[in-house]
Amino acid sequence: MITFPHAKINLGLFVCHKRPSDGYHILQTLFYPIEWRDALEIIPEGNPGECRMVQTGLTIDGDPEQNLCVKAYRRLQHIFPDIPGCTIHLEKRVPFGAGLGGGSSDGAYTLVMLRDMFKLPASDADLEREAAAMGADCAFFVRCAKELSAQYCEGIGHELEPHALSLKGCWIVVVKPPFGVSTKEAYSNVHPQWPATPLCDLLQLPVEQWKDCVRNDFEDSVFPLHPELQQVKDTLYAHGAVYASMSGSGSACFGIFNEEPSAASTWFAEGYETFIHPADRT
């Protein structure tokens, strides 16, 4: 079985409150799926409970057991001890440390694939719950594994509601600089506050009016540490973006354009990746 886990961008990201009970942050954000994808193959083989990880493409260092694909297998193994063995092959294309949710998507798609491949008696809601335990945005990707759709979140990441936002006719340019930003670094200097106007209300405005009100709160903490990101955002606006922002808590920035941009890959220095795609393909 093979599938293609997709990335996401955040259309607005308000850090509203830090819960004193557990330190989690309450967010308002709209997860919007984009067509930047990895490739994920699962081959049933080996003894029950055995999971072998093979990774190609972009290099991911560290213990394979810490990869979210393997963690997804282990979570299902805890519920279904006799789950068959398998080899998971991940061709990594979506950059990490970018705020695009690539790792979360890989883990979430693994849950769905294993459930379907081995006909495990787990509902979509069950998988969303397991995904939420792996990462704040993993539940979004479980929901989108069957059908891509924008999802509005007000919570710690897995409280989702379908959103009818349409970017029909628009184009998205995503820019990943040659460095990442860790979640810890992004949160290090963020100052939570409830917005005067909820993000869900601001998203009702025309996209052309988002520039001055639909913000990503992490820009205030990350841009001073990495001024290159402010330059990327400014460059997107200079080439005609109607809205530009940092995505999530990582280093990628994106711009929304009313027309297909020309030669966007030449706007940035060597080492910067660009991804260009129609916004309404989702």
Q: Which of the residues 8, 71, 92, 176 is marked catalytic?
A: 8
What is the Cα–Cα distance from 199 to 68, expressed in whole angstroms?
30
What is the Cα–Cα distance from 77 to 55, expressed in whole angstroms?
21
CB burial string 31-58: b at 16+ within 10 A, e below: bbbbebbbbbebeeeeeeeebebebeee
Q: Which of 159, 127, 165, 183 is nearest to 243 (CA)?
A: 165
Q: Which of the residues 38, 92, 106, 137 is marked catalytic?
A: 137
* Residue 32 · residue 214 · CB < 8 Å: no
Q: Is 63 among the residues known to form the active site?
A: no
Q: Is 137 among the residues known to form the active site?
A: yes
What is the Cα–Cα distance from 97 to 121, expressed in whole angstroms?
34
Region of 57 on the Ramachandran plot (φ > 0 left; ψ -120 to 50 alpha; else beta): left
Residues in a beta bridge with 254: 174, 245
List residues with catalytic annotation. 8, 137
